[in-house]
Structure 1
Amino acid sequence: MSEPINANPKIISLEDLPTREAASDITSSANSKAAAFPSSALDSVFPISRSSLDEAYAALLLIAEKKDADGDVEMKEEEAPVLSSGESESGSSDDDEDFEDEEPIDEQEIYDLIASISDPEHPLTLGQLAVVNKPDIHITRSSSADSRGRRQRITRVKVEITPTITHCSLATLIGLGIRVRLERCLPPRYRVEINVKKGTHQSESQVNRQLNDKERVAAACENQQLVGVLSGMLATCK
């Protein structure tokens, strides 16, 4: 890790990133986007030192090795938290109707949350590097009952990331940053899954296992060196 992973990545300009605005508003959107997300925002958190990235990478390896040594335990599906206040005898909440009326979060909103995360090596965002792309965000909504017969509304958000090169050793760190960002911003009923897009990384299955193992993620978020690097990556988020 003595040299940059990808010194010359393909860069998408800010005005070409996906937005919700109509085609007729593209020009004004580009201007407002540039004003809302100036390049100085990235300059203020860079460079993240090579030693910090090396230490963060080493910490991720140690966490993975420890978990592999302990043995993987099959994880049970988490139950969505349900508030007890206002719950009726039928097991549903008095707020069910209000919940149904809420406007659901869509793929564009998820993209907006994560596209402005900065890459750990380059003073560019994940959106600009096409590490995250709107077509690679998938949202699935379902309704089920928990062990007490109470209705749960679960929304699953799957994000597929595309590393800039197939041997990118910071893919796990990038995926971790995306997971932390979404789990901080989304309501508790949202379930987040982060995967490397099929065929884009030589250690695809290993990275995916690390990113979707809640014990490994929890251990990573308790590591001071990793938290420092993640904070730098998320400092550019709007």
Structure 2
Amino acid sequence: MSGLINANPTIYEKKERRVRTTPLFSDQDDAVEPIDQLEDPEHPYSLEELKVITEEAVEVDDKKSYVRVTFTPTVEHCSMATIIGLCLRVKLMRSLPLRYKVVLPIF
């Protein structure tokens, strides 16, 4: 027995991203860019490959300086959900201008 909560997660293909020439942080792609490479705490896969986060789950309101990322753990009872949420929050807070409010609900 491996001791992992989800020993055999489903792996999805990563989405191809455009190359950033200047950091604008004014649209959804700008908010996804810093978090699309974060790895799952239990597996050697990115949160994007496990569909814990998706581009569709990122909401950006540049006028209100608001970013909301809804993430879905690989299993309902994931004990790593808090760690994942904290990692996402820290990565976004370090990547986005200070004027942004970051909200991370778990779905």
Q: TM-score range by the shorter chain?
A: 0.7 to 0.9
Per the alignment, residue 181 of structure 1 pairs with 91
Q: In structure 2, do the counterparts of structure 1 residues 183 and 104 end up closer, same or farther at CA, with 3 Å as the change threshold?
A: closer
**What TM-score comes out, normalization by structure 1 length?**
0.41
String of CA shifts for 1:145-192, please: whole Å, max 9, x gaps: xxxxxxxxx410000001101000110100100000000111111110
Per the alignment, residue 36 of structure 2 pairs with 115
> Which consecutive unaligned segments of at least 5 residues does structure 2 have?
none
Aligned residues of 2:70 and 2:106 also touching (Cα < 8 A): yes
Structure 1 position 111, deviation (Å): 1.3
Paired residue type of 2:54: N
Q: In structure 2, do the counterparts of structure 1 residues 169 and 104 end up closer, same or farther at CA, with 3 Å as the change threshold?
A: closer
Per the alignment, residue 221 of structure 1 pairs with none
1:20 matched to 2:26? The reply is: no
1:194 matched to 2:104? The reply is: yes
Q: In structure 2, do the counterparts of structure 1 residues 104 and 111 end up closer, same or farther at CA, with 3 Å as the change threshold?
A: closer
Per the alignment, residue 70 of structure 2 pairs with 160
- Structure number with higher helix proportion: 1
Structure 1 position 10, deviation (Å): 1.0
What is the percent sequence identity of the aligned residues?
39
Structure 1 position 103, deviation (Å): 4.5
**What TM-score comes out, normalization by structure 2 length?**
0.86
String of CA shifts for 1:16-58, please: whole Å, max 9, x gaps: x25237xxxxxxxxxxxxxxxxxxxxxxxxxxxxxxxxxxxxx
CA distance in 2, matches of 1:7, 1:127: 17
1:11 matched to 2:11? The reply is: yes
> Which consecutive unaligned segments of at least 5 residues does structure 1 have?
22-101, 143-153, 198-238
Aligned residues: 103
CA distance in 2, matches of 1:170, 1:157: 22
CA distance in 2, matches of 1:104, 1:117: 18
Of the two, which has the highest radius of gyration? 1
* Superposed counterparts of 1:193-232, under 5 Å: 193-197=103-107
Paired residue type of 2:44: P
